[in-house]
Amino acid sequence: MIRFRDFTYAYPTGEAPVLHGVDLEVRPGRFHGLVGASGSGKSTLAMAAAGFIPHAQGGESTGEVTVGDLVVADTPLPDLVTRVGLVQQDPFDQISGARFTVREEIAFGCENLGVERGEMVRRVDEVMERLRIAPLADRSPYELSGGQQQVVAVASMLVMRPEVLVLDEPTSQLDPAGSRMVVEALAAVRATGMTVLLVEHGLELLAEHADELHVIADGRIVAEGPPADILTDPRLDAWGIGRTRFTAAAAEARRDGLWPRSRPLPATLDGAAAGFRAAANGELE
Amino acid sequence: MSTTLQFYRAGDSWVHRLNPVTKLAFVAAVTIAAFGVERLWWPAALFLLLEVPGAVIAGVAGRFVRMVLGFFAPFLVILFLLQGLTYPEPGTVLLHLGPLEVKTEGLVFAGTTALRLLVMVAAFVLLLLTTHPGTLMSAMQQAGLPPKIAYVVSATLQIIPSFQARANAIMQAQQARGLEVRAGGAAARVRRLLPLMGPLLLGALTDVENRSIAMESRAFGRPVRPTAYTVVPDSAAQRAARWAMLALAVLVIVLNTLGVFS
Ligand SMILES: Nc1ncnc2c1ncn2[C@@H]1O[C@H](COP(=O)(O)OP(=O)(O)OP(=O)(O)O)[C@@H](O)[C@H]1O
Ligand SMILES: [Mg+2]
């Protein structure tokens, strides 16, 4: 669905490239996670996937990014935005200012797409229900907390039903329950055939819901694969990502000989529980 | 929250429920009518017989009077000083103030102009007090206002207050680091506040970039005819009333030129 081929990119103001030879494939109908340390290039990659690099930001690039059969650099933005949606990192900048209530703010994208009114009302209600913001419907989007604004930003893109949705840390200002709710909602839209690329710090949520993870460090994709493999990789600390509580606890137990030796380290609650249960039953091989 | 949105008083009166375009037509018609007749009593009658009752029906009379006076008092003073004291035409001199002469004609002229402006300002105030800006913009877009113009107005109304909030935040951050914002004379204050403009403007610029990205993601400005989520109620009666009000305003001008009011 989204494909990076040997993509290297430098911002117009920066001398050194920020992305180096990125190869990455986001497959249709799947939920991909992108993780990396601060400043590693996650937002840049997200913008390149949605076409705002190079169309809005400019800069120098080599290689290619494609969305479906479209070459991003050769496709005008208005034609791209119906295929790829982008939720940016800062929620405040994403409130359009064009509408005065949350429900109208969410409907705004559909209005611009010319979605027929009855259909639009259904979609807005559905997405507010799914993201549990129906109680905010008649508030001003400017009177919401940062976390609430983030959820509204996600809703405003989901409602447009792009083929691919790219989200740049949409849960950074949410509490754990809110983050879980958003990630679960994103995992759920897979059922409608939507493809998702999510930049997210919540490793445990990704372990549970993502189909595939990509790790970025200093502008390079350094690892990719199923979350269970990536999140238990010993190089995780070197990449500056940290580990899930479940992996960390199992690793300590293994050092003390309290974890079944043949069992891989877990990245989820279920995996950790199964391992500790086995250990408690004396299965330490 | 924002000063611009604070005008609006939620309510369920007959005036509140009118389509905002009808209220705009009233502003236009009553203003045209007020300027159409050169009689002191005429704008006063429009104000007292149309606008004040409108404010009473809408349940906003107190606020209406306060806002109209607030907007209007400074104007009134300037108008009387300029027009009343410097009326160039010959006329009955009421009193001498040094080199200046106060003439009856000058006072009447100042009074008429003041009352005409009063009619216009009061009509606007009544519109703002009884119409949510969102409804106003939706209705105007429904009536054919281009989305880009509607966007500029709506965004200005909402983003400027948030800009003020950011300026305050930057100021507080500087104060927290020991910058004395309030001490000293005006010049010293300006000199200390100048460095704060940097972060504010820089923030505004990156905002603009990110916001334009956000607007494009929301398919704004695509060559598609946008649909409307909010439909502001309108009726054949209101459409007729709008044309009737404008026709009456024109009729007033015609009658005036025919000498009916003299
Ligand atoms: N507009 C820009 N102009 C020049 N350089 C930029 C710009 N935006 C980001 N950079 C640089 O590109 C690099 C990657 O930034 P990016 O924002 O993509 O990182 P990130 O992984 O999203 O970080 P974070 O987790 O903090 O959001 C950083 O070194 C940053 O300084
Ligand atoms: Mg980022």
pLDDT tens, B37-87?
A: 888 899 999 999 999 999 999 999 999 999 998 888 888 888 777 777 777
What HEC string does chain A produce? CEEEEEEEEECCCCCCCCEEEEEEEECCCCEEEEEECCCCCHHHHHHHHHCHHHHCCCCEEEEEEEECCEEHHHCCHHHHCCCEEEECCCCHHHCCCCCCCHHHHHHHHHHHHCCCHHHHHHHHHHHHHHCCCHHHCCCCHHHCCHHHHHHHHHHHHHCCCCCEEEEECCCCCCCHHHHHHHHHHHHHHHHHCCEEEEECCCHHHHHHHCCEEEEEECCEEEEEECHHHHCCCHHHCCCCCCCCHHHHHHHHHHHCCCCCCCCCCCCCHHHHHHHHHHHHCCCCC
Tell me if B227 and A114 make a contact (CB, 8 A cut-off): yes
Whether B168 has a pLDDT exceeding 90, the answer reads: no
For residue B143, the number of C-alpha atoms closer than 13 Å in the C-beta half-sphere is 20
DSSP β-bridge partners for residue A224: A214
Compute the distance between CA of residue B218 and CA of residue A205 in angstroms, rounded to an integer.
27
Q: Which residues of A touch B229 (CB under 8 A)?
A: 103-104, 107-108, 110-111, 117, 120-121, 124
Distance (Å, rounded) from C-alpha B236 to C-alpha B232?
A: 13
Phi, psi (degrees; rounded to nearest 5) at B210: -65, -35
pLDDT-based confidence at A141, cuts 50/70/90?
A: very high
Exposed (0-12), middle (13-18) or buried (19+): which is B89, by Cβ within 10 Å?
A: exposed
- CA A262, A268, A270, A275: dihedral to nearest 10 degrees? 20
Q: How far is the CA of A166 from the centre of ligand 2 (A)?
A: 12
Of B1, B151, B227, the CB nearest to A98: B151
> d(Cα A268, Cα A206) in Å, to the nearest integer?
9
Q: Which of A85, A113, A121 sits opposite B224 (nearest CB)?
A: A113
CB within 8 Å: B230 and A104? yes
Instruction: Please answer yes or no on whether A111 and B223 come within 8 Å at the CB atom.
Output: no
Residues within 5 Å of ion ligand 2, judged at the Cβ atom: A 42-43, 89
Question: In chain A, where are the structural domains located?
Answer: 2-243, 244-285
Interface contact flag, B213 A120, Cβ < 8 Å: no
Ligand 1, atom 23, residue with closest C-alpha: A39
% pLDDT > 70, chain B: 91
Q: How much is the pLDDT for B179?
A: 65
Q: Pick from A19, A80, A8: which is nearest to A50 by CA?
A: A80
Name residue A67's beta-bridge partners. A2, A70
Supply the pLDDT for residue A67.
Answer: 94
Candidate from A234-238, B18-22, B183-187, B254-258 with smallest mean pLDDT: B183-187
**Which residues of B are less than 8 Å from A113 in CB distance?**
219, 222, 224
Residue type, A113: L
Angle between helices B61-79 and B104-130 (to 10 degrees): 150
> Is pLDDT larger for residue A187 or for residue B184?
A187
Element containing residue B180 per DSSP (H, E): none
Q: Relative to the CA of A46, which ligand 1 atom is closest?
A: 18
Please give the model's pTM, rounded to 2 decimal places: 0.84
Residue A34 has pLDDT above 60, yes or no: yes
Please state the φ and ψ torsions of residue B99, each to the nearest 5 degrees: -80, -10
pLDDT for position B1: 41
Single-letter amino acid, residue B104: T
Which of ligand 1's atoms lies nearest the C-alpha of A14?
4
Distance in Å, CA A49 to ligand 1 centroid:
15
Contact of A117 with chain B, judged by CB distance below 8 Å, is answered with yes
pLDDT of B213: 83
pLDDT band at B158 (very low <50, low <70, confident <90, very high): confident
Nearest CA to ligand 1 atom 30: A39
Q: Report which DSSP code applies to B84.
A: I
C-alpha A106: how far from chain center: 20
- What is the number of CB-based contacts under 8 A between chain A and chain B? 122
What pLDDT shows up at residue B94? 77
Task: Answer whether B210 sits within 8 Å of A88, measured CB to CB.
Answer: yes
Binned at pLDDT 50, 70 and 90, residue A130 comes out as: very high
- pLDDT tens digits, residue range B122-146? 999 999 999 998 999 999 999 999 9
Q: Report the residue of B218, B220, B225 to disrupt the A interface, i.e. the one with the largest count of A CBs within 10 Å.
A: B218
Chosen for mutation from A57, A82, A96, A167 (greatest number of chain B CBs closer than 10 Å) is: A96
Chain B CB contacts of A93 below 8 Å: 207, 210-211, 213-214
Quote the CA–CA distance of A84 and A109 in Å, as a whole number: 13
pLDDT value at residue B191:
73
Q: Which CATH class is domain A2-243?
A: alpha beta
Task: Look up residue B232 and give its DSSP letter.
Answer: -
Residues 6+ apart with CB under 8 A from A149: A91, A92, A94, A95, A141, A173
**B229 to A86: CB separation less than 8 angstroms, yes or no:** no
Residue-level pLDDT at B84: 72
Give rounded-to-5 percent helix, strand, coil for chain B: 70, 5, 25
Instruction: Give the confidence band of A224 by pLDDT, cuts at 50, 70, 90.
Output: very high
Confidence of residue A283 (pLDDT cuts 50, 70, 90): confident
CA separation for the pair B92, B259 (Å, rounded) = 24
A140–B1: do the CB atoms touch at under 8 Å?
yes
**Cβ–Cβ contact A124 with B under 8 A:** yes
Judge if the beta carbon of residue A18 lies within 6 A of ligand 1: yes
Interchain contact, A78 vs B132, CB within 8 Å: no
Residue scoring higher pLDDT (B98 or B19): B19
What single DSSP character describes residue B217? Answer: H
Q: Could you tell me how many residues make up chain A? A: 285
For residues A98 and A104, what is the distance between their CA atoms, to the nearest angstrom? Answer: 9
**Residue B225 DSSP SS3:** coil
Q: Quick one: which ligand is closest to A38's CA?
A: 1
